[in-house]
Structure 1
């Protein structure tokens, strides 16, 4: 099995970039490319050479460094088929359900539209990690800029189906604000209360709240629990369709 190392670091103000490195092949993959300088600094620190970029969606804070990194390293840029025309420097397009290998790293593409119409999340089974960018955040999910609530709910169910031990990596450090909304809509969830306290402590120490296991997110993230009758009841929406409950939670989160 591939020996994989993952490094997460901050770009811009609150973006995360992640580097995935496979030791034997030397393959080094950036999940999105928000900003060139921090990526170069992390590569230098690790002694790695970038070989690929996996782009999740077309927003500028996820693709800003694509062309600069391609010019510097000759990397292959892979991104969502539905956003091919909007991804700078793209070489190969993939769709949900596609599986491929980069060096010794197995990658599975998962359709997660909602934030944008073509967003792709990347699951690396050997690393037990999923990179969900702006589809799923810890205790939250992305704003519905292009899709609708029903679309995003279906996307999150695909991510929720991954194994509990899968570590979730996201595109931004939004967990503290997400926790405020989550505890308001789900006040009796003891696992959520524990996670919220942990998040407060981590941020007070200047530490990231990610990655986090999907198992914990399934217990604590209200957006993954829109089909839980207890959460629907807490929202005053007993017997409502899950997509409607999801939409109500998303509308509430937009106010924070």
Structure 2
């Protein structure tokens, strides 16, 4: 791996990430939840901001863009093409299959509609780093605001297909509540039990739980297991299509 990352809390529960290329000095903020948190992270690392990679249009992911652009005028803002009109100061737009450089690093853009219609994720294959925004969370997934369950399930399948050693960086520190829900629907999963205990300890000590490993998510995250027939049967959904199982899981989480 060549990239360096720095993870920090922004606003109340947003996860901010800086991705740094030591070869060129380029540094990208993944989304911009708020100016102060990003500036503080830059000061702590000594890195210089060159890019902002936007996953989607929601205010808690873009509120810092304009003040950061005013502070660092040369910063390049890359955003989903389908949401350009809702995001300020966009310099470049991207969609499925596009590539985005950050210095000598390269991200592949993966369209992940569901949470919003134009949501994208950024996959740095060489560094095994996935920036999934609010599509896939540690032990959870985003709410469905602009698409149906089948669309979101298809997006999750795309992310699930990435290698097990992928580090998952998500948009919020929701892992504790996600772990408790996951245990409620999958109480006999030993890997999940171990993970949930570790999450409880981390949050009790004030530590962040992001990133996680995608390989762990594949066996611990109920939202990635909607096509597991045995799991569906334990939910009382035997014989249902994966998208229907996913829809029921998401509905249960919404009510939790």
Task: Work out whether the TM-score is over 0.5.
Answer: yes
Q: State the distance in 2 between where 1:123 and 1:145 align.
A: 23
Q: Within 5 A, what are the aligned runs for 1:179-194?
A: 179-194=179-194
Alignment-derived partner of residue 223 in structure 1: 223
Alignment-derived partner of residue 64 in structure 2: 65
Q: Within 5 A, what are the aligned runs for 1:6-45?
A: 6-45=5-44
Deviates more, 1:17-26 or 1:96-105: 96-105
Deviations 1:169-196 (A, max 9, x none): 0100111111111111112111111111
Q: Is structure 2 residue 132 aligned with structure 1 residue 110?
A: no
Q: Is structure 2 residue 185 aligned with structure 1 residue 176?
A: no
Q: Is structure 2 residue 137 aligned with structure 1 residue 137?
A: yes
Q: Is structure 2 residue 105 aligned with structure 1 residue 96?
A: no
Alpha carbons 2:21, 2:102 under 8 Å: kept: no
Alpha carbons 2:121, 2:131 under 8 Å: kept: yes
Alpha carbons 1:49, 1:73 under 8 Å: kept: no
Moved over 3 A (4+): none
Q: State the distance in 2 between where 1:169 and 1:53 align.
A: 15
TM-superposed deviation, 1:145: 1.1
Alpha carbons 2:31, 2:53 under 8 Å: kept: yes
Q: State the distance in 2 between where 1:136 and 1:4 align.
A: 22
Secondary structure at the aligned position of 2:182 is classed as helix
Q: State the distance in 2 between where 1:35 and 1:99 align.
A: 26
Secondary structure at the aligned position of 1:8 is classed as strand
What TM-score results when the alignment is normalised by the length of structure 1? 0.98
Q: State the distance in 2 between where 1:149 and 1:251 align.
A: 10
Deviates more, 1:94-103 or 1:245-254: 94-103
Secondary structure at the aligned position of 2:108 is classed as strand
Q: State the distance in 2 between where 1:35 and 1:148 align.
A: 30
Number of equivalent positions: 255
Secondary structure at the aligned position of 2:55 is classed as coil
Alignment-derived partner of residue 50 in structure 2: 51
Q: State the distance in 1 between where 2:84 and 2:219 align.
A: 35
Deviations 1:195-222 (A, max 9, x none): 1111111111111111110000001001
Q: State the distance in 2 between where 1:100 and 1:57 align.
A: 16
Question: Over the residues paired in the alignment, what is the CA RMSD in angstroms?
Answer: 0.9
TM-superposed deviation, 1:104: 0.6
Deviations 1:136-184 (A, max 9, x none): 0011100011111111000000000100000000100111111111111
Alpha carbons 2:114, 2:147 under 8 Å: kept: yes
Deviations 1:89-144 (A, max 9, x none): 11100001112322111110011110000000000112211011100001110001
Unaligned runs of 5+ in 2: none
